[in-house]
A and B are shown apart, each in its own frame.
Chain A
Amino acid sequence: MSNVPDSLRYTAEHEWLRLEADGTATIGITDHAQAALGDVTFVDLPKEGATVAKGATFGAVESVKAASDLYAPVAGTVVAVNADLNGSPDLVNRDPYGAAWMIRVKVADASELQALLDAAAYRKLL
C-alpha cells in the first residue's frame, strides 16, 4: 500500500502540498505516483521566480517508461526549486515526501488551499 501522510494535502493528479509556517507551500508527487512511474530519470522543473497557474503544467517527471506532467495544486510564484533532483532524480523514488520535494511557491490565493484533498479523500482515489 502506498504511503499517504495525514499531514499533507493532495490533488487528484497525485501531487502533494505542505503549507509551511511562512505561508509558502511545498509541492511534490506522492508515493503512489512514484511507484506507478517506476525509475525516475529526470525531473523537469521551472526556474525560481516563475509563476504557476492552478491546474496548469509546471514541469514533468520522466521515467524510463513515460513522461508525466506535473500540475500545480495552487497558483503562485516559485520561490525555491529543489536542485538536488537534477543530480539525483532517483530521490523521487526513495523519498517522495522528503528529499524529493520539487518546488516551493508563494501562494497567490490562500482560498485555493481549501479545494485540495485531505489524506482520507486522496486515499479513496487509490
Chain B
Amino acid sequence: MSTLQRTPLFAFHVAHGGRIVPFAGWEMPVQYTGILEEHLAVRRAAGLFDVSHMGECRVTGPDAAAFLDRMMTNAMATIPVGMARYTVMCRPDGGCVDDLIVYRLGPEAFLICLNASNAAKDIAWLRAHAGDAKVAIADECASWAQLALQGPEAEAILAGLTALPLAGIRRFGFALGEVAGVAGCLVSRTGYTGSPGFEIYLPAADATRLAEAILAAGKPRGLLLAGLGARDSLRLEAGYPLYGHEISETISPIQAGLGWTVKPAGREFVGREALVRQIEGGVSAKVAAFSLDDRRIARQGTPVLAGVDAVGEVLSGTLSPLLGKPIGTALVAADALARGGLEVDLRGNRVALKVADAPFLK
C-alpha cells in the first residue's frame, strides 16, 4: 500500500470544506459544495480547480524539438514559441502512453503537462527513447502547482490580478509573468471543461497565496471552488477524453476519435506505422459518445448490448447537468456501432444508447 501524495493546496481544500478522496495516487477534493452546483458555476460564472496533481517535465537542448517530434503523434517542431499543442504519445503498437499538452517556452525549451497517474511512466518513457539526442529531460513535478480558472467570468477575474495582456493570449497560447504578486507563473488559455478560461502553472510554494487571491477576487463574480467530480462531468460534456477511460495503452487515438492529433504526413514518430494502418484499414472497435433518454446513469464497465450480444462496454458515464440526462462514452465493436440498435441494461431496464457527436454542450 503506497502512501497518497498531497498537493501544496491540501490544507486549503480542507479549510474550504473540500471532501477529500483518493485519485490517481493523490488525496484530492472531489467536491466542496456539490458537484452539480460547481459544474453549473463553471458554465455560468467561474470555478477554480486545484490540478497540481498533474505532472510537469521540461525538455531542453539543441535536439529538443526534433526529439519530441519523434515521440508525439502531433507535430511538435512546428509549435511557435509562446504556443501550446495537445498531443498523444504512443507506443509502437499505437496504444497511448499518455495524452499531453506541450508548451514551447523557447526554440530549444518545452514544458510538458502530464497526467498524474502517468507522470513517472512518461518521464521514464521519454528518457528511454532519448538515445544520443542532445536533450535534457527534467522531472519538475514537485516544483509546480497548477490552478485551472474556468468559466465565462474567468478572464475578468484574472484581469484584476495581473498585468499580463490576457486578451492577447489566443486559445492554446500562453504568457509568462506575475499573477497576484506571485512571480514565475505560466498562464495559458487552455482547459478541460469546455468553458473559456485559463490554466496557471506556478511555483508550488506560492499555491495557497494565489488560490486565496483568485477565490477572493472571484467570489463577487460567482466563482466557486470546484473539485474532481465537476471536472469529470464538465470534461465529458465537452467531449474530452480521460486517460484510462477513453484512451489507454489498449485504446489508440484513432479508436478514440483523436485522429486529428495524429499527423503522419512527412514525419516519423513512435507508433506511426500502426496508426497509419488503423487510419487506412479501419479499427475493430471505436469510442462512441452517447446520451440516454432515461434517468439512470450507465457507468464504467456496463456492457453495451446489441440484442443478446455484448458488443462493447461503457468507459465513462455521468449526468449532464446541461442536458439533464445521462451521457457517457463506450468502446463498441465497429460493425455493431455501424448497425446501431445498441442498448445497456441498467438494473433490469433496457435503455437505448443514443449515439451522438460529442461535445454535448454546443
Binding site for B on A (CB under 8 A): 38-39, 41-42, 44, 60, 62, 64-67, 93
Contact = CB atoms under 8 A, between A and B. Distances in A.
State the 10 A-B residue pairs at the shortest beta-carbon distance, nearest first. Answer: A42-B295, A64-B35, A39-B36, A41-B319, A39-B34, A39-B35, A64-B319, A62-B297, A38-B35, A64-B229
A38 B37 CA distance: 11
Q: Give the size category of B's interface with A.
A: 10 to 19
Interface of B: 19, 30-31, 34-37, 229, 233, 295-297, 299, 318-319, 347
Contacts, number: 41
Contacts of A65: 30, 35, 229
A107 to B, nearest CB: 25
B166 to A, nearest CB: 32
Contact of B297 (A38, A39, A41, A93): A41
Contacts of B19: 38
Given A60-B347, A64-B318, A64-B319, A38 B295 contact: no
A44 B349 CA distance: 11
Nearest to A93: B34
Given A38-B31, A38-B229, A41-B319, A64 B36 contact: yes
B35 A62 contact: no
B29 to A, nearest CB: 12
Contacts of B34: 38-39, 93
Contacts of B299: 66-67
B30 A41 contact: no
B149 to A, nearest CB: 22
